[in-house]
Amino acid sequence: MTKTLKSIAAALLAGAAFAGSAASAQVAGIATLDTTDAIMQSKAFSQAYQQISTTFTSNTQMIQTKRKEINDINAQLDTNKDKNLTQEELDAAIKAKNPLLSQLEAKEREVAQLQQPIVTAQAFAVESIADRYAAAQQQVVTQKKISMILSPDAFIWAPDAVDITKAVTAALDTAVPTVGITPPANWQPKQSTGALYEQVQQRLLTAARVQAIRNAQAQQAAQQGTAPATTTPAAPAQPQPQPDSR
């Protein structure tokens, strides 16, 4: 056997041993971890977002109304009625000093004002959990004797035992079972919170879109009397519909 073939064989044997059991994965000291998912799966996150949804129900309803009004204005500015408001059509409206533009700007400002307390409450809750994250992660690292953590997409394949995301979530649930949604006066989120919050909101939006597709498929299947399609990828478990903060 050549040196190259021996190297390949050794690698294959190492891979087989690595995949053999949870114990071997832990002995290797290698783990994967999705920080955002660990936070979003925590009880504190779910409870906080549900509380925010309830607290700001009126804001959410008004945002939906304002957005409908914005869509109606956009439809009027869509001169060729192709349901696609282009930059050229906007430029034409600006040149013509169309009074609808001032109405559009006013309603967009109103939406932003209605969103602000929702965004602030959500960011405060996320930061409150994130502040306890490092300690929860270190607890799991110590318990499982982890020497290296990589993001899940760093692997082409790995056994389930390598993923410690759920373990970190469990540690978070113990360390911070609940968080508040009302920040102190003049509170400003940390820079790191902004990036994490954006990731959270993007995942919630993706999950909502997947659920909407599933609902549409189920409705279509019910009308046709057939089973719904199963080609849509499963969405991660997330809290129930949240107040719109975009």
Over pLDDT 70: what percentage of the chain?
A: 80
pLDDT at res. 145? 92
2 pLDDT band, cuts 50/70/90, is low
Euclidean distance between CA atoms 140 and 223, whole angstroms: 49
pLDDT at res. 41? 97
Helix, strand, or coil (residue 32): strand
pLDDT tens sequence across 33-81: 999 999 999 999 999 999 999 999 999 999 999 999 999 999 999 999 9
Buried b (16+ CB within 10 A) or exposed e, 21-52: eeeebbebebbbbbbbbbbbbbbbbebbbebb
Closest among 71, 76, 66 to 100, alpha carbons compared:
76
pLDDT tens sequence across 200-236: 999 999 999 999 999 999 888 888 876 555 544 444 4
Q: Give me the DSSP letters along 117-141.
A: HHHHHHHHHHHHHHTTHHHHHHHHH
